[in-house]
């Protein structure tokens, strides 16, 4: 057991003293959880194999699931990657922001960081605390989401504490994150480029810059794909799961409502405590033990922001089963549905 220190920090103008203390830990090979615009990350010196191994140990993360390397200066891409195609340079206009680029790794990136792959994932986060920490540390920072492996990603410092207290050195608390789902991961080593994980940067926006971009089949899968050599090892691991069993119901709104209510009654009859993850437009139609709304079906950004927090809240209320409504697949709805499908273990019911 370590003593985990939590420090409040100003999200717009981070206090120098706080950033110095955190950077000292990073430089000496320790672990610091910090806010980004997407979710909280668990950071270590990306170029120090021992420090990176501590990330895997603290999270209980499988060693073959590579980490994203966070930078604060575009020039670092050319140190971390061997080949930077011109598309990458165009896409860096989205930085700082929720876009991760997968490129050929250079020799300075340890195998621990890339999960044994010959590619490296790089992004520049859009958060003053993250950027200040990277600059003050003087090294790129490897950071997965700061949750125990398989749990919903943390959007507050409290979520990080729930999962990692006693396992890491420090948590920087700058309040809830703005976007609420992780970055979009784009593989530029495949032709055409492929989105391995839909995330905070909408696919529609990517397509305006690179016209031939594709969605990897597993990014939009409605059932589990057998991935022999996973393009992104993260695809094959269990993900985003609350403790309760999650069932995802997809279909037209009116069919959704009756199907979900039918399932609630069925589980209630079996003595289960049931939660419904609804939307503003539908929530008044349900009768269940716990009902929570993601937000309006028309506002996918707002739904994304709430998703992981609500999954954790259902656990706090001790529900046995969560029945979740499918949401529209456009903009951030694509990322929300990707997380819900995985969280359900592809236990998806079609309502029609």
* Alpha-carbon radius of gyration of the chain: 20
- Under the criterion CB under 6 A, does residue 144 sit at the interface with ligand TXA? yes
What region does 139 belong to: left with phi over 0, alpha with psi -120 to 50, or beta?
beta
Kindly determine how many residues on this chain lie close enough to bind ligand TXA according to the rule CB under 6 A. Answer: 28
Looking at the Cβ atoms of 39 and 248, the one nearer to Mg ion is 39
Bond from prior residue into 117 cis (ω within 30 degrees of 0): no
Looking at the Cβ atoms of 116 and 318, the one nearer to ligand TXA is 116
Report residue 90 as tokens: 């165009």
- Under the criterion CB under 6 A, does residue 71 sit at the interface with ligand TXA? no
Could you tell me the smallest distance in angstroms from the CB atom of residue 333 to Mg ion? 20
> Candidates 63-71, 72-80, 133-141, 159-167 — which segment interacts with ligand TXA by CB under 6 A?
63-71
- Under the criterion CB under 6 A, does residue 335 sit at the interface with ligand TXA? no
- Under the criterion CB under 5 A, does residue 36 sit at the interface with Mg ion? no
Q: DSSP E strands: which ranges in the chain?
A: 5-8, 32-34, 41-45, 68-70, 81-83, 99-105, 119-123, 141-142, 170-173, 184-187, 194-197, 214-215, 245-251, 274-278, 290-293, 321-325, 348-351
Kindly determine how many residues on this chain lie close enough to bind Mg ion according to the rule CB under 5 A. Answer: 1
**Positions 92 through 111 that interact with Mg ion (CB under 5 A):** none
According to DSSP, residue 98 is labeled S
Report residue 35 as tokens: 């806010």
Q: Which does 71 bind (CB under 5 to 8 A by kind): ligand TXA, Mg ion, none?
A: none
Is 68 exposed, middle or buried, given 0-12, 13-18 or 19+ CB atoms closer than 10 A?
buried
Could you tell me the smallest distance in angstroms from the CB atom of residue 247 to ligand TXA? 24
**Positions 9 through 28 that interact with Mg ion (CB under 5 A):** none
Could you tell me the smallest distance in angstroms from the CB atom of residue 8 to ligand TXA? 19
160 in Cβ contact with 33 (< 8 Å)? yes
Map residues 130-149 to x or -, x wherever contact with Mg ion holds by CB under 5 A: ---------------x----
Could you tell me the smallest distance in angstroms from the CB atom of residue 145 to Mg ion? 3
Looking at the Cβ atoms of 195 and 294, the one nearer to ligand TXA is 195
Looking at the Cβ atoms of 117 and 327, the one nearer to ligand TXA is 117
Alpha-carbon gap, residue 115 to 68, rounded angstroms: 10
**Interacting residues toward Mg ion by CB under 5 A:** 145
């Amino acid at each position: 057991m370590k003593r985990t220190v939590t420090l409040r920090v100003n999200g717009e103008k981070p206090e120098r003293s706080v950033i110095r203390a955190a950077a000292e830990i990073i430089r000496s090979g320790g672990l610091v959880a910090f806010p980004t615009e997407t979710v909280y990350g668990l950071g270590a010196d990306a170029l120090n194999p021992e420090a990176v191994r501590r990330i895997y140990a603290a999270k209980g993360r499988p060693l073959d699931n590579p980490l994203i390397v966070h930078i604060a200066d575009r020039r670092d891409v050319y140190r971390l990657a061997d080949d930077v195609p011109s598309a990458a340079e165009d896409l860096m206009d989205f930085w700082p922001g929720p876009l991760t680029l997968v490129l050929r790794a250079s020799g300075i990136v340890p195998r621990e960081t890339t999960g044994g792959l010959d590619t490296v994932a790089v992004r520049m986060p859009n958060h003053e605390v993250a950027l200040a920490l990277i600059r003050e540390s003087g090294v790129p920072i490897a950071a997965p989401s700061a949750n125990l492996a398989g749990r919903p990603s943390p959007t507050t410092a409290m979520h990080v504490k729930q999962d990692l207290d006693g396992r890491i050195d420090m948590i920087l608390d700058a309040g809830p994150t703005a976007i609420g789902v992780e970055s979009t991961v784009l593989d530029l080593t495949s032709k055409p480029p492929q989105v391995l994980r839909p995330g905070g940067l909408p696919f529609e926006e990517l397509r305006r810059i690179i016209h031939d971009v594709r969605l990897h089949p597993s990014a939009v899968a409605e059932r589990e794909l057998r991935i022999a050599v996973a393009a992104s090892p993260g695809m094959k691991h269990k993900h985003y799961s609350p403790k309760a069993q999650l069932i995802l119901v997809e279909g037209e709104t009116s069919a959704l409502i009756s199907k979900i209510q039918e399932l609630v009654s069925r589980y209630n009859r079996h003595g289960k405590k049931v939660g419904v993850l609804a939307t503003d437009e539908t929530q008044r139609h349900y009768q269940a033990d716990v009902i929570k709304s993601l937000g309006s079906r028309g506002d996918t950004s707002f739904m994304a922001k709430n998703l992981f927090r609500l999954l954790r809240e259902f656990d706090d209320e001790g529900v046995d089963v969560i029945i979740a409504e499918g949401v529209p697949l456009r903009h951030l709805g694509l990322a929300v549905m990707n997380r819900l499908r995985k969280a359900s273990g592809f236990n998806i019911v079609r309502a029609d």
